[in-house]
Structure formats: C-alpha cells, structure tokens
Amino acid sequence: MRWNGWGDPAKAKELPRAVRALIPLLLGRVRRPAPPPSLAEVRVRPSALTDDDRAAFAAVVGVDGVDHADEARIRHAGGRSTPDLLRRREHEQRVPDGVVLPADHAQVMACLAVAGERDIAVIPYGGGTSVVGALDPERGPHRAVISLDLRRLRGLLRVDALSGEAVFAAGTTGPDAEAQLAAHGLELGHYPQSFRYATIGGFAAARSSGQNSAGYGRFDTMVTGLRVATPTGDLEVGRAPGSAAGPDLIRLFLGSEGIFGVITEVRVRVHPVPAERVFESWSFPDFAHGVDGLRRVAQHGRGPTVIRLSDEAETAVGLAQVGRIGKAIARGASVVTVYEGDDIDARRARTTALLRAAGGTSSGAGDAEEWAAGRFDGPYLRDSLLDAGVFCETLETATTWTGLATLKAAVETALREGFRDAGARSTVMCHVSHVYPTGASLYFTVLAGIRSDPLPVWTTVKARVNDAILAHGGTISHHHAVGRDHAPWLARELGPAGMRILAAIKRELDPQALLNPGAVIPAALPAGD
Amino acid sequence: MRWNGWGDPAKAKELPRAVRALIPLLLGRVRRPAPPPSLAEVRVRPSALTDDDRAAFAAVVGVDGVDHADEARIRHAGGRSTPDLLRRREHEQRVPDGVVLPADHAQVMACLAVAGERDIAVIPYGGGTSVVGALDPERGPHRAVISLDLRRLRGLLRVDALSGEAVFAAGTTGPDAEAQLAAHGLELGHYPQSFRYATIGGFAAARSSGQNSAGYGRFDTMVTGLRVATPTGDLEVGRAPGSAAGPDLIRLFLGSEGIFGVITEVRVRVHPVPAERVFESWSFPDFAHGVDGLRRVAQHGRGPTVIRLSDEAETAVGLAQVGRIGKAIARGASVVTVYEGDDIDARRARTTALLRAAGGTSSGAGDAEEWAAGRFDGPYLRDSLLDAGVFCETLETATTWTGLATLKAAVETALREGFRDAGARSTVMCHVSHVYPTGASLYFTVLAGIRSDPLPVWTTVKARVNDAILAHGGTISHHHAVGRDHAPWLARELGPAGMRILAAIKRELDPQALLNPGAVIPAALPAGD
C-alpha cells in the first residue's frame, strides 16, 4: 500500500484528460499544491518507547515483530480518509511510537498485558483503510502508543463446507480470504471498495458493507462467530446459526472498532462460487424514479446480487463507471445490476418487471460491466485529484425509503453551502449502493476547489454535514464506521444512555482504557441525562 | 388465558381417544394425579406491598392500575413451562406482591422510579407465555416484587407503508398486531406457537423466532428500532436500516428479557399481506435425508416461507399435525412446506428439485394444511396430558448442519437416560423448524410417565440435557430464551468475559438490580477467569 495514498504505487496515474477538462468547468481554476515530501523527508517525534518496552514486546512477538523505525511508524500513522492523506502530505507528522506484530491470539493477549503493565495505548491495525480516523496515533492519557499490526494473523483456519462456514485469522486480507476459499469452491462475497487491502477483522470491527450486499448481506449478517482478545480476558462469541441465549454479543463487537478488544478470529458464512454472472444496466428519468425502482426490488427480495443507482450528477460525469469518467454525458439516473448464482432468469424477470414499473429502461450490459471492472479503482482517482489541487472526499449515511429524498437534499445543501461559505466551488454526486426492505444508504462524493488549506475547511463542512444527517433522521455512518471523526455525532445518535452502555462495557473489558483511545466513545462525553 | 394452563379455557379438551390409546403403549401405565385446586383454593402469602407502596404506584397509573388481590397475583405468578403449570397445580403458590399496569412509556419510567425509591423488584410481564422461568416472582434482595403488566401499552402507534415499517406499543398481542396491520394491507408474519397470547415486546425481549422464519426471518431481523425504559434513563435505538454507527444496541436489548430495561415500543419491518399461499408436504426415508433436503433449501435461499421436518418418532405419532395425532402411523420423516407471497412457481420448482435430490417425495397438500390449521394448538394438548398424568415438555437448541445429528443424538440420550435413571418410561420426538444457511434448530417434545413428583425428576433430567447441549456445540436456547431456568448454562455458553459484559451493562442501567432478579444473569455468577 502506498504510504501516503491509495493502493499499489505502480497503479497511480495522471488524471485522465477528460477529467482534467472537466475540473475547470465544475470548480473553476484550482491551485496545484506543492509536491508532498518523500517518506524520507517526513519528520516525526522520537519514539516514546523505551528499550525495556521494546524488549518486553519482543519477548512476546520476537525481535522482528517490533519496529520503531520511522518508516514503519509513518506507514501506520493513520487510515485513508482525505484528511489522512492531506496529513500524509505534510512534512511533520504524528505517528505511533512503534509497530508491534503479534502472530496469533495468544500473542495478542500477551501484547495487551505488556501494554497494560507499561501504560501504553494500543491501536489495532488491519489493512489501514479506515476513512473515519480510527487509526489516528492517539495515546490518550498513556505514556506511549503502539500500532498493533495484525498482518501475521493470517489465513483460513478452518472450513466447514457442509455448513457453509469458514474461520479466518483477523489479519487476512479480502483477496487472500477469497483465494483460499476459492480453493474449496467457496466465496465470502464481501466486496467493499477497500477489498484489496482491508482485512476480515477490519470488516468485522467496522461493521462493513460490501457492494454485493443486496445478494449476500452486510458483513454483520455474514459473521457467525468471533474470537476476541481483551485486556481482561478473551472470549468466543457466536455458537449457533440462530440463538435466544441472551443478547447477541457478536453484534457488540461488530462496530466496536477495537475499543473493547482485538478481534483475532472471525467465523463467516460462505457460499459456493457463483456459477453464473449476468450484468444489466438501467436508465431512469431521474433519481426519484430510480429510488422507486430500487425500493420495489429491495422490498420484493430475491433480486440481483448488486443493485446501485447513481443520481443525475454522478450519472452525468460518468463516475458510476470509473473507467468512463467524462467520456459520455449521460442523462437521467443510471442503475447497475449484477446477478450471481442461480435462478437468474426468474430473478431477472421479476426485477425487470419491477424496474420497468418504476419507469426504468434497460440499457444493456456495458455500463454494468464497466462498473464491475473499475469497482475498486475509485480511490486511485482521488490521489490524482489531490495532486491536481482538487479536494475530493466521500461520506455516507442511510435512512428509510420515506426519508431518503429529504436526507439527500439536506446533505447536499450542507455540502454546497459549507463550501460556498468557505469561498470554494464544489460539486456533489450521490449514489445508492445498499438497499434494504425498509430503506437504503446514500453515498456522496464531493469535489471542491479549495484555494486555502483544505483541512480546516473540510472539518467545518463535514461538521455541518454530520449535523444535517442527524437532523434529518440519517445514521452517522452506514458502513464507514465511527472512528474519531464521527464520535461526537455518535454520542448524539445513541443518546446518553446508549453511550453509557458503551462506556460501561469499555470500563469492564479495558479498565485502563488502553485500546484505541478516543475512537467511538469521544474522549469527552457529553453530560449524562 | 387460563390461569393454570394454556389458552382459552373453552378450548380445553379431553385427550383424543387415539392419544389415550397410545399412552400405555409408549409409557406403560401412568398415574392420574389428584385434581388441581381451583383458583379460589390456592393459598398465597400476604402481599408485602404497603398501603404507601400501592398509593405511590396508583399516583402513576391510577387506582385501577394497581391490583394486589390474590387472583391477579396468582395469574401473574409465572409463565407456561411445564414446571410452571405443575406449580400452578399446587395448593400453595409463590406469587408477586401485586400487579401494576402502566399505560404508556412515561408511566413505565415513573413506575421504575417508584420501585427504585421503595426497594421493590419489577418483573416485566407481556403475554405470560415464557417457558423458561422469566416470570418467576423473584424478589431478589428487595423488599417486595411486582409484576409490571404491559397490556395497556397496546396498539399500532405509527405505520410507514412506503418503508414497510410499523411501530407497536410493547403490550400488543400477536393477533392484535396482525389485525391492525391487516387494515393497512400489511403483515408482520411472526407466528411462534405462543402467537395468540404473546406480545410484540415479549417477542423482542426473548429473541423469539416464529414458524415462518424461513420466509420472514427471526424476530431479531424484523426489529428495526426499540424504545426502552430503564431505571437510569430511557433510550431509543435503531435509526437506519443498516448502520455502522458503533455496535448495534438493538441486539443488546433483544434477548435481554427485561433485565436491562422495559421495552415499551418496537419498530418492525412489515410486508404486504401475501396474495397467495401454497401448501406441500414431503416424505423422506429418514431424518438424515430430510435434514439434507432442508440444508439444500436453506443454503440455496429463495425457497418456502415455512419449512419443517419431523423425525421418525414425531412422524409416526403424527405430532407434526396436531389434529391427526395417532390417526395415521406414517413412516420415514415428514416435511411441511408453505409458500407465501409471489414467484411461488419458481421458488417451488427450485425447492422441489432440491428436496427430490435429497431423496424426498411430494405427498400432496393435506398434511401441510393440517399442520397449519393446528399450528397454535399444541399447548392445549399438554394440559390434557398433564391431567392424564403424562409429563410433557418441550425444549430446543440449534447448531451447524455438520453438528446437527450428533447434537440430536446427545439430547435424546440425555432425555432417555435421565428418565430411565428416574424409573420413568419416556418417548422423545424431534423436529427442525428453523433453518439457516449455516445450520438449524432442533425442537424436542418429550413425554414421560413419572410415577413420583415430576418436578424434581424433570429438574434433574433437564440439567443433563442442558449439559449435553453445551457439550455438543448447541446453544442453550434457539428461541425459548434464558429466563431463570437456563441462566446457569448461559453463563457457561457465554463464558466469564461474556457474562461480565452483561453484568456491566446491568450495573450501569439498573444499579439497584430491580429488574427481573435472577433472570439471564444467574444470582450467583461462576467465578471469573
């Protein structure tokens, strides 16, 4: 992973000519920033880890499992939000005091014990793809902070093909997991945009949702068990496919983002590799008609594996298909559908009837195939835009079908007015990529020509957006999670009693508050009721 | 509801002649017990509520909302497990000190405040159908205990037909909820055997699962929001159809059985009343082949709304269809399927292919229709059996498809050997009534001819069964919940850290431990790790 951007450095590209032509039309003239420092040019504070600290961790994970070199610290300094990338472009950077690489559950437990004895905060680290500040090197009240990199907890530990279950070590990446399952003729089917780098444990910790969620569900629904290491003991949760044995503790750790413990193993539901895959694109007169179509399909069920709708703005710039941006100025709102598995004819016939009834027209397989080909490439484009001086970020929420249009308008207004008040031109695009019987997600991409330092501008704009989301019934995140960036708004979403529950669990499992300080539960909680 | 048995007293019947003929064949000679006392003959301790206590509650709920008459106390003395019914047949009974009937969320909050001020334990009471001891009048360390009957929190509060969501007051019964939804052309589709009496809040508190779970999911998956009154504040959880805003707090209250708070409102996903309903029965050579068929159907998805498989013993006595018991001695293992909604032809064609591939043969609609006609009547039969001196109880668990046969054998052995060691003949029947991609439930009905006091015998046998369930990878309950009966085994299933989590939440929300003492979290927790 590129240390200060997304993905494989060899895949980084100049902005496509069409996009370069589009930018002045959308944003006016933008200012190309000074080139960022090389990794060797970045300055960091000396590590606060003592020789004794490093020896204590090395006694658990081996000498080669402790790294306090600047390069490792810089590489673990945060996630991949646009603010993260902007900070990675600065000459002075906040980084953890070292990186520790345990190799199994027992070593994770032992590392937590060392951290507790030595008053060192611990940031669990999977693929490094958080976009909500969950990986900030925050030491809280502690003497130092380490990044606990889980990459050595890797691989398919067990498969039960008859039951359709597989157990992965938490540090296994998406592609590794799928490759190992494919050897058994099985698939997990979880494809968030971070798929190529993110880990199975990260998917669980962040309550991820992938692009095939219409077919295979959110990651929440895929997880049938977890093994978790906490500072005060470990636990295994999830014993049966359905249970009424008290509250579902799996769901307590899904979305816990490392604040209660370190997820070390994840048991997931898997299915046979789909034999067939059919692509079909649709065009709707406008977003509202498209939403009506997606609602009908989601409420009927038994439809496509992927269904996503781009609004007029996203359709017009072609962002729905990364490879086509700017090539074709399409009208209306475009929909991508993909069917996997079997009974495709029946599912497609029913979906066709429902989408037609909502005003849709089939537009062939091409756009959907192009979407699939470029489905993981969006983040590369962001790096090129940042290089060109264009601020680019995404954010997301979800609400009921009834509330969707109002929420979309409110977020767009907050973005547009926020940038306008900062003297920046912006353009906002939106898509629906996760549908449920009762509602759907909204995913926004915003481009802005910010002529001053973009970080404080975005902080202000994002706060207005978050306020608008909560004021209009949305959730503060549909699948990006909370991290530190959303924590103050989570407190408003869950209310005082909800936050007291999280704080009580935190105190019980992690009484020294070693784990991921400031994530999910804001450092200063609003006063109780 | 009959005070010392199941359901409508007018529907109580003598045992069918065929069953009377069957009993001696299965169990030998049984001893008809002495007739139980009438309600007026039952002796209870005087209420520990003072005039001041009653006045304090009456100030909240009105004078007619506080009842400390013996009849009300006896009617709220417990649930409807067989041990509950056996205790209801005794002359001296443990009962709560009074019944309090709040009418809305605010009154529930105020009742909890009164209970806290006056050191009175509170047992939330919905339909009174718990079969796991969740309604025992346990006062714990407190001065008195009231039953907080939620029947006045009743009705459909809001409908969002476009989003397919409805909000019910927690005390609404299953039939009331469906009748009110039907006026909007909508259905919830949750039909546990307790449907006619149990409440929406009870379904949530107990993590219920209904007979149509293959089509509409467990109750867990139907709930999109909850309003909860706790002694230290109230909260609303569930904001969006999908969310990554921290852990899912809905799932913390589902299965909490009143120990964290009182659920006062439940938001649920609803669907249009199905236009069509098709019944089909199947016959398999044996249970193993039937399990193979159900597994194929569950893993494929998009199949029937109801699918259930009776083992050879249940098939032989005809218990799968309550109306037919003993009439036809069928061979093999029978399966009931019901399809609701649309696309039934496609779903049925696929299911037919999968069941045939597993060795099944269609046997027409009759058995499935008879099952549907008698689907809520099983519990009446139990009362008649108890009257005749036949012990009858049910229990259930779940595990993976791989573990199912071993778990079934282990439970059957524990039951058979347990009764044998107590000198009682027994017969055990089993069905699978809830299927998932990764596994299924097992539901056992046991009949025994116990010639001594049945309660201590059953306590011993049930403990052996629970041990066997945990030893063979099952969950201590698939849909009956924990209550007090399963609490010690829950502690083993969740482990020390899991129970510490529950205890920490309990301390935070209910620091005086007023709510349902001894349920879910056993009074004496096993020592920590």
Which residues of chain B are within 8 Å of residue A475 when distances are taken between CB atoms?
Answer: 239-240, 243-245
Question: Following DSSP, what letter does each residue of A460-496 receive, concatenated?
Answer: HHHHHHHHHHHHTT--S-SSS--TTTSHHHHHHHHHH
* pLDDT average, residue stretch B412-437: 97
Mean pLDDT of B177-203: 98
Distance CA(B244)–CA(A210), nearest Å, equals 12
- To test the contact with chain B by mutation, choose from A501, A506, A507 the residue with the greatest count of B C-beta atoms within 10 A, namely A501
* CB within 8 Å: B163 and A477: no
For A478, half-sphere exposure in the C-beta direction (CA atoms, 13 angstrom radius) is: 31
Name the pairing type of β-strands B98-100 and B144-149: parallel
Min distance B81 CA to chain A CA atoms (Å)? 16
Does A306 score more than 50 pLDDT? yes
Q: Which of the 8 DSSP states describes residue B211?
A: T
Indicate which of B112, B194, B249 best probes the interface with A, i.e. most A CBs within 10 Å of its own CB.
B249
Element (H, E) at A406: helix A404-421
Is a pLDDT exceeding 50 seen at residue A271? yes
Whether the Cβ atoms of residue A131 and residue A139 lie closer than 8 Å to each other: no
Partners of A236 in beta bridges: A227
B245 and A255 in contact by Cβ < 8 A?
yes
CA–CA separation, A138 and B147 (whole Å): 48
pLDDT at A415 over 90: yes
Say yes or no to pLDDT of A63 above 60: yes
Q: Which run of H or of E encompasses A439?
A: strand A439-449
Mean pLDDT, all residues of chain A:
95
A492-509: average pLDDT:
98
* Nearest residue in chain A measured CA to CA from B344: A346
Answer whether CATH 3.40.50.2300 is correct for domain A277-471.
Answer: no
pLDDT confidence of A168, banded at 50, 70, 90? very high
pLDDT at A326: 55
Whether B163 sits inside 8 A of A247 (CB atoms) is: no
Partner-chain contact A240 B397, CB within 8 Å: yes
Residues with Cβ within 8 Å of A497's Cβ and at least 6 positions away in sequence, in order, are A529, B230, B232, B233, B234, B235, B509
What string of DSSP letters covers B75-90?
HTS--SSHHHHHHHTS
Collect all residues of chain A within an 8 Å Cβ-Cβ radius of residue B243: 207, 398, 475, 477-478
Q: Within B366-422, where are the H helices?
A: 366-373, 378-387, 404-421
Which has the minimum average pLDDT: A199-203, B25-29, B134-138, B196-200? Answer: B25-29
d(CA A334, CA A330): 8
pLDDT digits (tens, 9 = 90+) for B236-260: 999 999 999 999 999 999 999 999 9
Give residue A527's pLDDT.
Answer: 43
What's the gap in Å between the CA of B42 and the closest CA on chain A? Answer: 33
Calculate mean pLDDT across residues B157-181.
98
Domain B274-376, classified CATH 3.30.70.3450, yes or no: yes
State the sign of the Cα–Cα–Cα–Cα dihedral A516, A521, A525, A526: positive
Closest A-chain CA to B489: A245
Exposure string (b/e) for B222-237, b if CB count within 10 Å is 16 or more? bbbbbbbbbbbbbbbb
The CATH code of domain A156-272 reads 3.30.465.10
Q: What pLDDT is stored for residue B326 in this prediction?
A: 55
* Span B156-239+249-272 CATH architecture: 2-Layer Sandwich (3.30)
The span from the CA of A499 to the CA of A244, in Å, is 25
Binning pLDDT at 50, 70 and 90, where does residue B3 land?
A: very high
Strand order in the sheet with A144-149: A66-67, A98-100, A144-149, A120-125
B295: Cβ contacts below 8 Å, ≥ 6 apart = A162, B401, B435, B440
Answer whether residue B527 shows pLDDT above 60. Answer: no
Length of chain A: 529
Reference B48, options B7, B10, B96; nearest CA is: B96
pLDDT at A377 over 60: yes
Most B-contacting residue of A267, A394, A438 (CB-CB within 10 A), to test interface: A438
Residues 6+ apart with CB under 8 A from A466: A476, A486, A489
- Going B242 to B246 to B250 to B255, the CA torsion angle's sign is positive
| Predicted local confidence at residue B481, as pLDDT | 98
Q: Do residues A105 and A264 make contact, with C-beta atoms less than 8 angstroms apart?
A: yes
Judged by CB atoms closer than 8 Å, whether chains meet at A251 and B256 is answered as no
Strands A165-169 and A262-269: antiparallel
**B529 has pLDDT over 50:** no
Residue B120 has pLDDT above 50, yes or no: yes
B247 vs A244, A252, A479: nearest CB? A252
A165-169 sheet: strands from edge to edge = A156-160, A165-169, A262-269, A223-230, A233-237
Instruction: Mark yes or no for CB contact B400/A439 under 8 Å.
Output: no
CA angle A249/A250/A253 to nearest 5° reads 95
CB B310 within 8 A of CB B334: yes
What CATH code would you report for B31-149?
Answer: 3.30.43.10
Nearest residue of A to residue B346, measured between CA atoms: A346
pLDDT digits (tens, 9 = 90+) for B19-72: 888 899 889 988 889 999 999 999 999 999 999 999 999 999 999 999 999 999
Mean pLDDT computed over every residue of chain B: 95
Residue B391, amino acid: F
Higher pLDDT, A49 or B328: A49
Write down the pTM of the prediction: 0.97
Cα(B28)–Cα(B25) distance, integer angstroms: 6
| Residues A240, B475: C-beta atoms closer than 8 Å | yes
Provide the β-strand partners of residue B278: B339
CB-based contact A336:A307 (threshold 8 Å)? yes
Picking from B160, B234, B244, the nearest residue to A481 by CB comes out as: B244
- Chain B CB contacts of A300 under 8 Å are 342
- The alpha-carbon gap from B234 to the nearest alpha carbon of chain A, in Å, equals 7
Residues of A in contact with B398 (CB under 8 A): 240-243
Residue A274's closest chain B neighbor by CA? Answer: B300
Q: What pLDDT band is residue A14 in, cutting at 50, 70 and 90?
A: confident
Q: How confident is the model at residue B320 (pLDDT cuts 50, 70, 90)?
A: low
For residue A345 the two structure tokens come to: 């004819």
Q: Is B104 exposed, middle or buried (0-12, 13-18, 19+ CB in 10 A)?
A: middle
Name A101's Cβ contacts closer than 8 Å, sequence gap at least 6.
A61, A65, A66, A67, A149, A150, A151, A152
The contacts of residue B44 (CB under 8 Å, 6+ apart) are B70, B73, B74, B92, B93, B94, B95
> Per DSSP, what are the bridge partners of residue A280?
A337
**Residue of A131, A188, A207, A243 to mutate when probing chain B, most B C-beta within 10 A:** A243
Percent of chain A with pLDDT over 70: 97
Q: Which pLDDT belongs to residue A5?
A: 94
Model pLDDT, residue A529 = 36
Which tops the pLDDT comparison, B376 or B317?
B376
Considering only CB atoms, A439 lies closest to which of B240, B400, B495, namely B240
User: Quick check: B317 pLDDT over 60?
Assistant: yes
Is B333 strand, coil or helix? strand
Quote the pLDDT of residue A528.
39
State which residue of chain A sits closest to B217, comparing Cα positions.
A242
Residues on chain B touching A257 (C-beta within 8 angstroms): 246
Q: What is the pLDDT of residues A100-122, one digit of tens each?
A: 999 999 999 999 999 999 999 99
pLDDT tens digits, B227-238: 999 999 999 999
> Maximum distance among all alpha carbons in chain A?
69
* Length of chain B in terms of residues written: 529
Query: CATH says A31-43+51-149 is which class?
Result: alpha beta
- The per-residue DSSP string of A33-71 comes to PPPPPPGGG-B-PPP---HHHHHHHHHHH-GGGEE-SHH
Taking CA–CA distances from B233, the nearest residue in chain A reads: A497
Report, as an integer, the average pLDDT of A117-137: 98
Tokens for B311, please give them. 């083992």
Top residue of B194, B443, B501 to mutate, by most chain A CBs within 10 Å, is B501
Q: Closest Cα of chain A to B144: distance in Å?
A: 26
Q: Quick one: closest CA in A to B298, which residue?
A: A163
- For residue A508, the chain B residue with the least C-alpha distance is B504
Task: Using an 8 Å CB-CB cutoff, list chain B residues near A471.
Answer: none
Nearest CB neighbour to B497, from listed A163, A234, A399: A234
